[in-house]
Structure 1
Amino acid sequence: MSFRKVVRQSKFRHVFGQPVKTEQCYDDIRVSRVTWDSTFCAVNPAFVAIIVEASGGGAFLVLPLHKTGRIDKSYPTVCGHTGPILDIDWCPHNDHVIASGSEDCTVMVWQIPENGLTQPLTEPVVVLEGHSKRVGIITWHPTARNVLLSAGCDNVVLIWNVGTAEELYRLDGLHPDLIYSVSWSRDGSRFCTACKDKSVRVIDPRRGTIVAENLEEPMGLQELDSSNGALLPFYDPDTNVVYVCGKGDSSIRYFEITEEPPYIHFLNTFTSKEPQRGMGWMPKRGLDVSKCEIARFYKLHERKCEPIIMTVPRKSDLFQDDLYPDTAGPEAAMEAEEWVAGQTAGPVLVSLRQAYVPSKQRDLKVSRRNVLNEGRPAATPPAAATAPPAAAPARLSAPPALGTATTGSTAGGRLEEVLQEVAALRLLVTEQGQRISRLEEQLSRLENGHV
């Protein structure tokens, strides 16, 4: 009897990676030499941010995506920290707001001008002080506006309301050793941590409890050569593809995750000659759907940032619905107060059929008042995750151009009404776009003889 090997069918089997042309790279950048296992790079549809070497403090570059080629040594940086910057993260709900964590034990949140920097940016919108040791991890809540998580070398996780400069939750005592990485669930109800004690913990931040720890058996096991340094994983929930980049390695391995055994399926490896110092990851709404681009990385060399495009090879010029399901858009699903009060919501999805059109960004406003205690009763955190008293160490620093939110202003009230109307109209347009997409799909099926 002869047995024929069955090859598993997958539309991602032939995904290939390709670096862009030399002139489309960002050259002559002095990438940070700090020995820390973060990505050192953060990307969104408007900007690429890169942590760089700086004398007398910490700094990072913010470049408009089109600003390719050689970057002048005098190009302005974001440089308000007094110690080296260890991590940066763009706000998912505002492409002009970015947070940074530093060895100076502070978290800073910055508002980037519409067209990028024309002079050094030294004044953050807000400074968040609460860690006793350096802050190595920064990550925004995926669906609640203005909620930011920071983790420090004091083994403490802090969750902030950036809009009021407050500590919402202080999660202390859950990690006996250094926290290596943190990742939110898609709806932001929980987050997962990897710790130096070789434990993975799933944590409910609003209850201050560990939901799961030390998972006994992995769903799948893949042996990777990680001798060069930390692994940086990137997961795409739209395609169920996970990309693994080794810091100090020169390859990107990618796998498809399925619901049935063996769960993890190796797809391919993108290999280049130069090792990566860090890696940025473009949100799905920033990709070129006309070229069947399903992922884009921004690889940091010693003196360069090189975009790498991952593509599904297809010849059709039509929009590929199966590659691009509706994805997380730039609108927040709820406000910080609603999340604290116990609400949970997945991301507000948008269609990529008409490709991504950036919306008008609004400035980040920071108010000294505690909006959590006004208008509605806030959820009282339990003892394990108690919020600090009013005298908590949160220092406010707002530049004159942004100002502070005021309460009795007629103009301010009118502006809020206009913003609400714009948000309602944007939601209506999104819903109509999705309805048109469904009708087009039904029409296409009828034309092709499918009932």
Structure 2
Amino acid sequence: MAFKMRTSKFRHVFGTPLKKDQCYDNIRISKSSLDSTFCAVNTKFVAIITESGGGGAFLILPIAKTGRVERDHPMVTGHKSTVLDIKWCPHNDNVIASGSEDCSIKVWQIPDDGLTTNLTDEAVELLGHQRRVHSIEWHPSALNLLLSTGADNIIILWNVGTSEALVEVALADLCISMSFNYDGTKFVTTSKDKMIRVFNTRTGAVEKEAKGHGGAKPSQAVFLKNNKIFTTGFSKMSERQYALWDVDDLSEPMNIEMIDNSNGVIFPFYDPDTNMVWLCGKGDSIIRFYEVTEEAPFVHYLNLFQSKESQRGIGMMPKRGLNVNSCEINRFYKLLNNGLCEVIPFTVPRKSDLFQDDLYPDTAGDVAACTGDEFMSGAKSDPCLISLKQGYVPTKKDQLATVRKSNVLDTPTKTVQRAAPQATAASSNGAAEAQSSVAPAQAIAPAPAGPALPADFDPAALLDDIRKLKLIVKAHERRIKTLEDKVAQFEANTSEEEEQA
């Protein structure tokens, strides 16, 4: 019986790096040892985490303005410590979020023409983590929802529009990577304890969990469109490998294959339109790509791209930013150790100049399917799709609008003053709930017969400081509870061992 070669329209995909003057040069790329891609790309800008003295910073470079980057080029410099992760909002190409070692998450509004001066004032600051924030992910279809995790072993789902933590999940060990599924109703994590967990986004409940890759080095995961999970990691023998999992049964992988014996963490990038997975290893000079199908062995190796220089970081262009006229199906922005950001388009060879419908099915656009509140209430959240046949036309966006949820600490000074007598009445009546909610307002309300306040007194700033302190105290309480649970578990295990002995 003759051997039949598997056919695929992506078998002959090839990458061609652009010339140096069409790339970005002279960039002081971050030297952080954290396993991060250091780069984020959208249709307007390239963002790159850089070295910066006295704080954390990252560059914002317009896609069209290539070439040498001046040393004094304006940067985003609002963090007090190293920036660890950056992600562009999928629904507004002028909005980017950053997580930092200073335990904060900041959301920035970037002008259409890029930065002309250093940007130090964020649009939104999210405070809730007690230790460094090393990974963030935007919700794929709901407006202003952001997922974050840090070294405090906490995962938080934020409503950026209201600066509110909607869901909080405490893990037993450090979360290494996160990824939403296609409609954002679930997300998958990999952790230092080698476990793969699938969570319900709206409730934070664990729906599935299983042992992942056996090696001690970090593993990464990405949620695929067909209810599958693709992971990269290491075997017990420190061999790099990838695996495909069925969400409905995580007891064992559908397919697991060894890649090589290198020691760099492999970052998987997924294209739901073509069902292709691209593997980019840190410190590698190779980009491998695979096609995921419904027939065994499910993950099919296609080809690889190899260059002379190894990659320090990498970013992938969203589908709506590609050149459909040249059959471009992907574009990577590869950070090199010599300070160059190399641009690598990947194309499918086609003779026809007509639009290739099979290469470009309708893809996710820049319009959210629902608001964050609607999503949390159970609204359908499949991404809003657009056709690329006539080219991508961005929708007009307003400035990022933020409205904090009203509570007694956010009310104007006059209202706070009126709340003070209610607090006294509540305490006299023994209403504990009313007392706890209004007592802080009573503390900051100026007494009618008291001394005059200084001219520079800013009640709004004071209220904002109190709000931040409450978030920090809440994070401490979560941390203490996690440690108490660990101690209780340790004591229980010790007691069982003593009884057995």
TM range (shorter): 0.7 to 0.9
2:362 aligned partner, one-letter code: D
Q: CA deviation at 1:222?
A: 2.1
Q: Which residue of 2 aligns with 1:213?
A: 209
Match of 1:327 in 2: 363
Percent identity reads: 56
C-alpha separation in 2, matches of 1:395 and 1:307: 41
Check if 1:349 corresponds to 2:385: yes
Match of 2:309 among 252, 270, 274: 274
* CA distance in structure 2 between the partners assigned to 1:39 and 1:206 by the alignment: 28
C-alpha distance in structure 2 between counterparts of 1:228 and 1:363, whole Å: 43
Against the structure 1 CA distance between its residues 168 and 268, is the aligned structure 2 distance closer, same or farther, given a 3 Å change threshold?
A: same
Residues 137-167 of structure 1: per-residue CA shift (max 9 Å, x gap) = 0110011101111100111100111111111
Q: Equivalent residue for 1:157?
A: 155
Pair 1:237-2:272 in alignment: yes
Unaligned runs of 5+ in 1: 372-388, 397-451
Question: Structure 1's 394 and 243: CA in aligned 2 closer, same or farther, altered over 3 A?
Answer: farther
Could you tell me how far 1:80 is from its partner in structure 2? 0.4
| Change beyond 3 A, Cα 1:358–1:263 | same
Structure 1 position 225, deviation (Å): 2.4
Quickly say closer, same or farther: Cα 1:221–1:192, change in 2 above 3 A: same
Aligned AA (1:210): V
After superposition, give the CA deviation of every residue in 1:26-72 in whole Å (9 maximum; x if it has no partner): 00000000011111000000000000000011000001001100000
Q: Is 1:203–2:238 an aligned residue pair? A: no
Q: Which amino acid in 2 is paired with 1:142?
A: P
Residue 65 (str. 1) matches residue 63 (str. 2): yes
Q: CA deviation at 1:207?
A: 2.1
Offset, 1:4? 1.4
Q: Which amino acid aligns with 2:180?
A: W
* In 2: Cα distance, 1:192 partner to 1:20 partner: 35
CA deviation digits over 1:226-246, x for unaligned, max 9? 623111100111001000000
Distance 1:281 1:19, change over 3 A: same
1:20 aligns with 2:18: yes
SS at match of 2:258: coil
1:365 to 401, 406, 410: 401
SS of residue paired to 1:290? helix
Helix, strand or coil for the counterpart of 1:194?
Answer: strand
- Deviation (angstroms), 1:361: 2.2
Contact 2:264 2:283 in 1 (8 A): yes
Corresponding residue for residue 439 of structure 1: none
Gaps spanning 5+ residues in structure 2: where?
Answer: 211-249, 408-436, 441-463, 470-501
Inter-partner Cα distance in structure 2 for 1:394 and 1:53: 32
Partner of 1:306: 342
Correspondences of 1:32-431 after superposition (within 5 Å): 32-172=30-170, 175-214=171-210, 215-225=250-260, 227-302=262-337, 303-370=339-406, 395=468
Detail structure 1 runs of 4+ shifted over 4 Å in the superposition: 389-396
Partner SS state of residue 316, structure 1: coil
Work out the CA distance in 1 between the residues paired with 2:261 and 2:148. 26
What is the DSSP-based 3-state SS (H/G/I as helix, E as strand, rest coil) of the residue aligned with 2:75? coil
3-state SS, counterpart of residue 223 of structure 1: strand
Amino acid at match of 1:341: S
CA apart distance, 1:205: 2.5
Deviations 1:402-436 (A, max 9, x none): xxxxxxxxxxxxxxxxxxxxxxxxxxxxxxxxxxx
In 2, the alpha carbon distance for the partners of 1:355 and 1:37 equals 35
- Give the count of matched residue pairs: 375
Shift of 1:216: 2.2
CA separation in 2, counterparts of 1:280 and 1:394? 35
1:11 counterpart letter in structure 2: K
Task: Tell me the alpha carbon deviations over residues 427-449 of structure 1, each in whole angstroms, 9 at most, x when there is no partner.
Answer: xxxxxxxxxxxxxxxxxxxxxxx
Displacement, 1:353? 0.2
Structure with greater proportional strand content: 2
Which has the bigger relative contact order, CA under 8 A and spacing at least 6? 1
Q: TM-score when scaled to structure 2?
A: 0.73
SS at match of 2:168: strand
| Amino acid aligned to 1:21 | K
Are the equivalent residues in 1 in contact too, given 2:184–2:201 (CA < 8 A)? no
Mapped to 2, the partners of 1:304 and 1:270 lie a distance apart of 18
User: Which residue in 2 is equivalent to 1:437?
Assistant: none
Q: Which has the larger radius of gyration?
A: 2
Q: CA deviation at 1:394?
A: 5.9
CA contact (8 A) 1:189 1:344 kept: no
Q: Return the structure number with greater helix share.
A: 2
Calculate the TM-score normalised by the size of structure 1: 0.81
Give the letter for the 2:264 counterpart.
G
Q: Which is further off, 218-227 or 8-17?
A: 218-227
What's the C-alpha RMSD, in Å, of the aligned pairs? 1.7
Question: What residue in structure 1 maps to residue 498 of structure 2?
Answer: none
Q: Distance in 2 between matches of 1:394 and 1:169?
A: 18
Change (3 A) 1:197 1:226: farther
